[in-house]
A and B are shown apart, each in its own frame.
Chain A
Amino acid sequence: DAGITQSPRHKVTETGTPVTLRCHQTENHRYMYWYRQDPGHGLRLIHYSYGVKDTDKGEVSDGYSVSRSKTEDFLLTLESATSSQTSVYFCATLGTEYQETQYFGPGTRLLVL
């Protein structure tokens, strides 16, 4: 499991409220990723990080921001949650840059009412 945990694992919130999801890894991996998974769309990259304070946008970044102040933590924030952000969110880390294999966390199921 590459030592990846996500919190919370489940969350119900209301439209317009801010939400922060946390990804924590214990393997000192440099790259970390946030994906969302929706039926019919596979996994889509929201944001990723290639080091402390180094982040970049993915293909579906609108409405999301991220921060990485420590190697082990990568936070995803929904500034003002909308119903379209109801999804399952997965964090991932890159094992090694040579292997290119990404390992996924257990996921966070978010429901925005």
Chain B
Amino acid sequence: GENVEQHPSTLSVQEGDSAVIKCTYSDSASNYFPWYKQELGKRPQLIIDIRSNVGEKKDQRIAVTLNKTAKHFSLHITETQPEDSAVYFCAADTNDYKLSFGAGTTVTVRA
């Protein structure tokens, strides 16, 4: 089955700086890559996703890039704000409507 690895496990950034989280996947058939944000005690919520036919997608301060050849994708958050502090999960779907998740990255934005 699909195996998704996520790094780093924790990330501390100064407010206003950028944050980058990287994920690798094992199954070259994976074609859908969502990112979820989970605040403490809350449910995971989708913040951005990308499909295998697209190399980059942007939504305001967040962007995701995908390198199919290397089988890795990354989340970029620019101009970080305190409300960006949360756990972020990457995931991959091999077109069978099942997601395999990374272990998560705890992002802390320092004021």
Contact A97 B103 (CB under 8 A): no
Give CA–CA (A31, B91) in the complex, Å. 17
Contact A48 B98 (CB under 8 A): yes
Least CB distance from A103 to B in Å reads 7
Contact with A along B85-106 (1 / 0, CB 8 A): 0000101010001111111100
A-B contact count (CB 8 A): 51
Q: Closest chain A residue to B4 by CB distance?
A: A42
Q: Which residue among B42, B44, B91, B93 has the maximum number of chain A CB atoms within 10 Å of its CB?
A: B44
Considering the complex, which residues of chain A in the window 85-113 have a beta carbon less than 8 Å from any beta carbon of chain B? 90, 94, 97, 100-107
Give CA–CA (A105, B102) in the complex, Å. 19
Considering the complex, which residues of chain A in the window 34-76 have a beta carbon less than 8 Å from any beta carbon of chain B? 40-45, 48, 50, 58-59
Binding site for A on B (CB under 8 A): 1, 6, 9, 32, 34, 36, 42-46, 49, 89, 91, 93, 97-104
Please give 15 more A-B residue pairs, beta carbons under 8 A apart, in addition to A43-B44, A102-B99, A106-B43. A40-B9, A41-B103, A42-B6, A42-B101, A42-B103, A42-B104, A43-B91, A43-B99, A48-B97, A94-B97, A100-B49, A101-B34, A103-B46, A104-B45, A106-B42
